[in-house]
Amino acid sequence: MEDIQTWLREGWQEFTYQQGELCCEEVSLNHLAREVGLPFYVYSSRSIREAFLSYKEGFGDQKHIIAYAVKANENLSIIHLLRQLGAGADIVSVGQLYRAQLAGIPGHKILYSGVGKTDREIRAALEAGILFFNVESEEELVRISQISEEVQIRAGIAIRINPDVDPKTHPYISTGMKEHKFGVEIPAAIELYRRAEADPWLEVRGIQCHIGSQITEPSPHREALERVLMVRAQLSEMGIETRYIDLGGGLGIRYSEEEPPAPAEFVRGLLEIAGGLDVSWILEPGRSIVGNSGALVCQVLYRKEHGGKHYTIVDAGMNDLIRPAIYEAFHPILPVCQSDQPDHRIHTEVVGPICESTDQFAWDRSLPPLEQKDLLAILAAGAYGAAMSSNYNAKPFCPEILVDGKEWRLIRRRQTIEELVAFEREFLAEA
């Protein structure tokens, strides 16, 4: 009991066993299962607040914007909670722009990232008065200028430089090396800044880089910052001033044995390198704010022995949480009710119901013996869980719950079967 509680406090402090039942803050996951059915996502408000405020603490009196990376978890209630704390938004689509606006985030705290911005998205962002676009190519810069002239709104821009820094993370979530599609190599970026400075419809506001995700040591970000500062100094010599330095996001969380720095410590380390530079700082954290706040709760359907392995089949699948299927990502899994025999374990494959061999949450995982209808909590699922879910195999989206102390509320209801075909039924008679 004590070992498990210590382990939870080290990475998932808002999930604890209370009287033998796993709780999110003060709310039993068993109780939530009875109220909303299974599977479901649950998030801790306290965990989200503490992570965001740790970033603020690190900045101290420095001018800054903490632009929450909406792609990590797009739920309106979570964006709204962060807006109340003072967050801006880092967006990558017009849908995320709409979500940020609905949550009350003002345009001057919104940044538009991504390599493939469409004409519609550029117009919408200009009309929303965003702070700047993170530009990723020469043709994108030209198109932003053209649309800015069409709508008669001057565009703020930053060039996303590719610093060719190894972030030491999974190759699928690494974005800052020269072989990746993201950003602009430094010599080409200098030329784009020269063009932007001469363009009457563009206003150079900042310089940006983002080297990847789930980075758990500070050295890659520090190396990237040194290269950003080098580019900024070169631009200054050319008479091009950049008032904002945007270092993207990417700070990791604990899934297993990782030991990432606390956000405040991470920020202070970056500011030390800059040496009191008079700029406005921007970070775009996502996973490190919401990742450890969330869990996917599911139920054991069946167990079987097959091919020399033990399988535990649950009612959640890769449609709900795809990270293990595409990255072989590790997520902690705990029974919602503690075993009467805590020292007795079995090794099992935890799999879902989807018709894909990759529909798996754990490989050869040591767990207590489980019975049918037992509940499991898949932890560290607050980021890139619900946001990457799908209707594959015609599975409805599961509900999401936000807990605050002893209170909880539904922040997305379960999708109905009828809603799965709502956009198709009107055309059925024409077939």
- Enter the pTM of the model: 0.93
Residues 196 and 308 in one domain: no
Q: How confident is the model at residue 342 (pLDDT cuts 50, 70, 90)?
A: low
Residue 235 in domain: yes
pLDDT for 380-393, tens place per residue? 999 999 999 999 99
Residue 326 in domain: yes
Q: What is the mean pLDDT of residues 275-282?
A: 92
Question: Which residues share a beta bridge with 91?
Answer: 112
CATH at residue 393? 2.40.37.10
CA angle 135/137/143 to nearest 5° reads 75
Residues 175 and 209 in one domain: yes
For residue 166, the model assigns a pLDDT of 62
Residues 238 and 377 in one domain: no
Distances (CA, A) of 21 to 24, 110, 279: 10, 41, 49
For the cut 90, the answer to whether the pLDDT of residue 81 exceeds it is: yes
Q: How confident is the model at residue 340 (pLDDT cuts 50, 70, 90)?
A: confident
Residue 428 in domain: no
Residue 426 in domain: no
Q: Rounded CA gap, 109 and 280, in Å?
A: 12
Residue 429 in domain: no
Residues 172 and 193 in one domain: yes
For the cut 90, the answer to whether the pLDDT of residue 77 exceeds it is: yes
Residue 69: CB atoms within 10 A of its CB come to 27
The total number of structural domains that make up the chain: 2
Q: How confident is the model at residue 12 (pLDDT cuts 50, 70, 90)?
A: confident
pLDDT for 170-180, tens place per residue? 444 444 344 45
Residues 122 and 29 in one domain: no
pLDDT for 345-378, tens place per residue? 999 999 999 999 999 999 999 999 999 999 999 9
Residues 332 and 250 in one domain: no
For the cut 80, the answer to whether the pLDDT of residue 38 exceeds it is: yes
Residue 119: CB atoms within 10 A of its CB come to 12
Residues 387 and 340 in one domain: yes
User: Looking at 238, 272, 290, which one is the last position of a domain?
Assistant: 290
For the cut 90, the answer to whether the pLDDT of residue 216 exceeds it is: no
DSSP labels, 162-188: E------S-GGGB--STTSSSSEEHHH
Residue 205 in domain: yes
- For residue 375, give its domain range: 2-44+291-420
Q: Rounded CA gap, 48 and 53, in Å?
A: 9
Residue 93 in domain: yes
Residues 130 and 220 in one domain: yes
pLDDT for 255-278, tens place per residue? 988 899 999 999 999 999 988 899
CATH at residue 233? 3.20.20.10
For residue 332, the model assigns a pLDDT of 96
The answer to whether 335 and 299 have CB atoms below 8 angstroms apart is no
Q: What is the mean pLDDT of residues 293-297?
A: 98
Q: Rounded CA gap, 335 and 360, in Å?
A: 17
Residue 427 in domain: no
The answer to whether 235 and 192 have CB atoms below 8 angstroms apart is no
Residues 132 and 51 in one domain: yes
**All residues at 6 or more sequence positions from 19 whose CB lies less than 8 Å from its CB, including other chains:** none
Residues 35 and 121 in one domain: no
Return the amino acid letter for 121: E
Q: How confident is the model at residue 193 (pLDDT cuts 50, 70, 90)?
A: very high
Residues 284 and 299 in one domain: no
What is the percentage of the chain residues whose pLDDT exceeds 90? 81
User: Looking at 290, 311, 333, which one is the last position of a domain?
Assistant: 290
Q: Rounded CA gap, 281 and 66, in Å?
A: 8
The set of catalytic residues is 355
Residues 309 and 299 in one domain: yes
Q: What is the mean pLDDT of residues 109-125?
A: 97
Q: How confident is the model at residue 2 (pLDDT cuts 50, 70, 90)?
A: very low
User: Looking at 246, 267, 290, which one is the last position of a domain?
Assistant: 290
Task: Please compute, for residue 300, the number of CA atoms within 13 A of its CA located in the half-sphere on the CB side.
Answer: 23
Peptide bond into 39 cis (omega under 30): yes
Q: Rounded CA gap, 288 and 251, in Å?
A: 6
